[in-house]
């Protein structure tokens, strides 16, 4: 806090008084052994891949929002990946792996002793201001990693590697491509929470008009905080033509009966695994014929991607299959300047005017997980059990798109589901969230009838 408004007493007598009369608070520690084992295996693999190094993995610090206030802290994905420490991570903690000694040490700042004035007078890290932190022993028990005081970190010396190193980032990104059973179950749980978020949002639709996108965003967020740690990413609540703006997160528009609202939202759990779901909802509760026409094509494209979702096929096959459906319907609608077959050639791609994004991406601790993986490990790779990704085709007809049929203009549709590859096919993690146009109508009505 700036000195110009600080009234904290500084008298010695006051400091002495503040030291006395505090009992210890014993926090319960419940380690998750499966998750801890996953993290241990990842640390070992990493040390094997980078011998003779001291590898520093920082949890990071919350960025400034304004002046002396900050955004909510979220540890770096790589830190959580290697420690299994999620939403309760102490800011500025650092994991140090010594690949010579095959040792892992977690450096953190425990709560200050009561005989320092930090605990009541330091607004950034003091217990009075930001809450107590666990002690070293508690964290060691929780994560199964040796711990030390953060202040001892500068005593560590050796050949240092950190997350500014591209090769290290790439390794850690690729290490996340195959999820463990526990990780898949976390994502599944994040999807279930996200379903509740959508239901809370749907309940608000009849009561939202002016600034309705904000009301819907808020309704989803309520469940994100109740059932999880936070949003996995900024919610897109895009009504009418806003649906055509792919990253519409301003959410400051009205919602109007007769239009659609595209909602792309995901809840992140305390483990920091997230879901990533899109449903496009008719604000009146019923799709118009034209809306349904577009919706059903997107659904068909998604189904075509699902069809090739099994080990042995390639990641890119899902996109290619979805694009065949989109191109064929664009030809049927008479909006392609060439045939669908010609459009599908890599050098043409005219149908992509109406769907400029990809059909899916890996999903995990990051919503766009494994982003630093090499192309041959991502787009060009064969699908393998344990991969988790989204399938999310869409069609977007901007209100000023003169090449789109007039009645399509201002309509945008995306349907996004989450799947995990199994030995024989896939586990459809979001199967409980209504998806066809009819299912969506029945779902919305049932929520409105209940309220
Ligand atoms: N929510 C971002 C995406 O769907 O990729
Ligand atoms: Mn999404
Ligand atoms: Mn997505």
CB 449 within 8 A of CB 332: no
Rounded distance from Cα 187 to ligand 3 centre (Å)? 14
Q: What is the pLDDT of residue 232?
A: 98
CB 247 within 8 A of CB 260: no
- SS3 call for 90: coil
Q: Which pTM was predicted? A: 0.96
Q: How far is CA 227 from CA 31, 88, 270, 368, in A?
A: 20, 15, 9, 21
Comparing C-alpha atoms, which of 218, 197, 199, 198 is closest to residue 208? 218
CA 195 to chain CA centroid, nearest Å: 15
Core vs surface per residue 234-259: b (16+ CB within 10 A) or e: ebbbbbbbbbbebebeebebebeeeb
Task: Report residues whose beta carbon is within 6 angstroms of any ligand 1 atom.
Answer: 233, 264, 276, 361, 367, 392, 416
Please report, for the chain, the start and end positions of each structural domain, with discontinuous segments joined by +: 12-174, 177-450
172-204 pLDDT, tens digit each: 999 999 999 999 999 999 999 999 999 999 999
User: Counting atoms of ligand 1 from 1, which one is nearest the CA of 278?
Assistant: 4
Residue to mutate (ligand 1; options 263, 359, 368; most atoms within 8 A of CB): 368
In this prediction, the residues of the chain whose per-residue pLDDT falls under 50 are: none
Q: What is the pLDDT of residue 321?
A: 98
345-371 pLDDT, tens digit each: 999 999 999 999 999 999 999 999 999
Q: What is the pLDDT of residue 2?
A: 60
String of DSSP letters for 323-372: HHHHHHHHHHTT--SS-HHHHTSTTT-GGGGG--S-S--B-SSSSSTTTT
User: Counting atoms of ligand 1 from 1, which one is nearest the CA of 416?
Assistant: 4
Minimum CA distance residue for ligand 1 atom 5: 368
Q: CATH class for domain 177-450?
A: alpha beta
Q: What is the pLDDT of residue 59?
A: 98
CATH of domain 12-174: 3.40.350.10
Q: What is the pLDDT of residue 428?
A: 98
């Amino acid at each position: 806090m700036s000195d110009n408004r600080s009234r904290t007493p500084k008298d010695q007598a006051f400091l002495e008084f503040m030291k006395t009369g505090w009992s210890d608070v014993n926090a319960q520690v419940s380690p998750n052994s499966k998750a801890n084992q996953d993290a241990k295996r990842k640390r070992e693999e990493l040390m094997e891949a980078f011998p003779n190094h001291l590898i520093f993995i920082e949890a990071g610090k919350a960025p400034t929002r304004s002046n002396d206030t900050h955004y909510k802290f979220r540890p770096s994905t790589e830190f959580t990946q290697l420690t299994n420490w999620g939403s309760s991570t102490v800011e500025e903690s650092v994991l140090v792996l010594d690949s010579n000694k095959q040792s892992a040490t977690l450096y953190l700042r425990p709560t200050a002793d009561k005989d320092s004035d930090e605990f009541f007078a330091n607004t950034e890290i003091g217990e009075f201001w930001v809450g107590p932190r666990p002690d070293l022993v508690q964290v060691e028990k929780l994560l199964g990693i040796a711990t030390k005081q953060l202040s001892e970190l500068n005593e560590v010396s050796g050949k240092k590697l950190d997350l500014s190193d591209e090769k290290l980032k790439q390794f850690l990104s690729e290490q996340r491509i195959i999820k463990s059973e526990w990780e898949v179950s976390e994502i599944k749980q994040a999807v279930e929470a996200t379903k509740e978020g959508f239901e809370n949002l749907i309940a608000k639709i009849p009561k939202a008009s002016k600034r309705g996108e904000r009301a819907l965003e808020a309704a989803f967020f309520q469940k994100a905080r109740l059932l999880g740690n936070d949003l996995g990413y900024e919610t897109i609540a895009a009504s009418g033509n806003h649906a055509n703006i792919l990253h519409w997160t301003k959410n400051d528009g009205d919602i109007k009966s007769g239009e659609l609202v595209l909602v792309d939202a995901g809840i992140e759990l305390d483990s920091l695994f997230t879901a990533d779901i899109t449903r496009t909802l008719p604000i009146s509760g019923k799709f118009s014929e034209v809306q349904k026409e577009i919706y059903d094509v997107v659904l068909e494209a998604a189904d075509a991607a699902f069809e090739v979702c099994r080990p042995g096929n390639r990641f890119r096959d899902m996109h290619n299959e979805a694009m065949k459906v989109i191109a064929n319907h664009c030809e049927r609608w008479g909006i392609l300047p060439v045939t669908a077959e010609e459009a599908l050639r890599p050098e043409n791609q005219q149908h992509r005017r109406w769907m400029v994004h990809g059909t899916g991406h890996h999903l995990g601790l990051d919503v766009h997980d494994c982003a630093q993986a090499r192309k041959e490990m991502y787009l060009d790779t064969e699908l393998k059990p344990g991969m988790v990704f989204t399938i999310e085709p869409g069609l977007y007809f901007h209100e000023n798109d003169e090449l789109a049929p007039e009645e399509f203009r201002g309509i945008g549709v995306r349907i996004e589901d989450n799947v995990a590859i199994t030995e024989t096919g896939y586990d459809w993690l979001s199967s409980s969230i209504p998806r066809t146009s009819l299912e969506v109508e029945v779902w919305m009505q049932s929520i409105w009838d209940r309220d």
